[in-house]
Structure 1
Amino acid sequence: MTDKKKLIGEERRAQILSWLQSEDMPLTGGDLAERARVSRQVIVGDITLLKARGVPIIATSQGYMYATPPEEASIERIVACFHPPDRTKEELLLLVDLGVLVKDVKIEHPVYGDLTASIMVSNRKEALRFLEKVNETNAAYLSELTEGVHLHTLSAKDEATLDEAEQALREAGFLLEA
């Protein structure tokens, strides 16, 4: 390990981009910091600079990912949901089990306006990891600020999958309808 040197500036940002592009799973700021031999805060700054240059990096609850274009076109739909925090696991697993990517959660806050948080879970393993991180950090769900009312951006390979997901949300009592 003594032969590894600290990466500097543009060299570090190029290496961060390379690491993100070569991984299928998110990399945490801590992991990137360890690899680059800098602080996590330096990595946060580097990610911000890369994003400002238009590099498609997304921050998820599991870490940073390079947003590669999907191999096949995906369809998106925003759905309005309502449930207490203790049903979040049920909601996420219902969606990912149907082959849906849950991209984010959005709320309308009375002071800050629209707030969006990236979730980016598409299978049980990712969903359970997300829920575990929320539990470990004792974080509140964004929807707790609006008494359970929230939006999700869902993505799937076709309209039929999104229709099925929306119907499953309706049957489970999650869908907020007029």
Structure 2
Amino acid sequence: MVEHSGAERRAAVARVLEEAAGPVSAASLARQFSVSRQIIVGDIALLRAGGAGILATPRGYVLERRQEGVVHTVACVHTPEQMEAELTAIVDAGGEVVDVIVEHPVYGQLTGILGLRSRYDIGEFIRRVAEHGARPLSDLTGGIHLHTVRCQDEKSFQRVQKALANEGFLLNM
């Protein structure tokens, strides 16, 4: 790989993300540009500060893109052991789990970008959670959390709500 200045490398990283069909990890970008992962993390931070809509997902960086369909927020509650079942209920009913949101007493709203569209995505997410010994964000709130869910239409979203209700994951106060 030809050595790049920081600005040239950041422009090249942005091009890679624009052309990517899916998430691109910091490690793969680091290999591609022969720099450390930490350099890439810094490049991404500078690109974001410059206005680039780059999201960090559990599988890598993606550019924010206008998505078709409808977007709704659902309030859920479950134990950490039920996380995979909840996510599976959403994607099996035709939804994409865009993110998870919790209310933290010190930091306010915390959002984790997920971008889970399939059982494969969920499996990879669950594997990474286990690999890193991570706990779900909902642990901070006794299992209560929000998900932003994207569906192709309202009928699909109604299926998602019904699936979550059938499993007992919808928060009812």
TM range (shorter): over 0.9
Shift of 1:69: 2.3
Structure 2 unmatched runs, 5+: none
Could you tell me which residue of structure 1 aligns to residue 53 of structure 2?
A: 56
Q: 1:17 aligns with which of 11, 14, 31?
A: 14
1:27 pairs with 2:24: yes
* Structural RMSD (CA): 1.2
Q: 1:162 aligns with which of 157, 165, 170?
A: 157
Could you tell me which residue of structure 1 aligns to residue 62 of structure 2?
A: 65
Runs of 4 or more, structure 1, over 6 Å off, are none
Shift of 1:7: 2.4
Q: 1:145 aligns with which of 140, 144, 151?
A: 140
Q: Which moved more, 1:14-23 or 1:137-146?
A: 14-23
Could you tell me which residue of structure 1 aligns to residue 113 of structure 2?
A: 118
Could you tell me which residue of structure 1 aligns to residue 166 of structure 2?
A: 171
Cα separation, 2, equivalents of 1:7 and 1:129: 33
Cα separation, 2, equivalents of 1:177 and 1:40: 43
Q: 1:5 aligns with which of 2, 8, 32?
A: 2
Q: 1:43 aligns with which of 28, 36, 40?
A: 40
Q: Is the 8 A contact 2:54 2:61 kept in 1?
A: yes
1:75 pairs with 2:73: no
- For 1:150, give the aligned amino acid: H
Cα separation, 2, equivalents of 1:143 and 1:152: 11
Shift of 1:156: 0.9
Cα separation, 2, equivalents of 1:103 and 1:22: 21
Cα separation, 2, equivalents of 1:60 and 1:6: 28
Cα separation, 2, equivalents of 1:74 and 1:48: 29
1:100 pairs with 2:105: no
Q: Is the 8 A contact 1:79 1:175 kept in 2?
A: yes
Shift of 1:53: 2.1
Q: 2:131 aligns with which of 125, 136, 139?
A: 136
Number of aligned residues: 173
**Superposed CA offset, 1:17-74 (max 9, x none):** 111122212111111111111111111111111112222211101110122323xx32
Structure 1 unmatched runs, 5+: none
- For 1:172, give the aligned amino acid: E
Shift of 1:167: 1.2
Shift of 1:6: 2.8
Q: TM-score scaled to structure 1, two decimals?
A: 0.92
Q: TM-score scaled to structure 2, two decimals?
A: 0.95
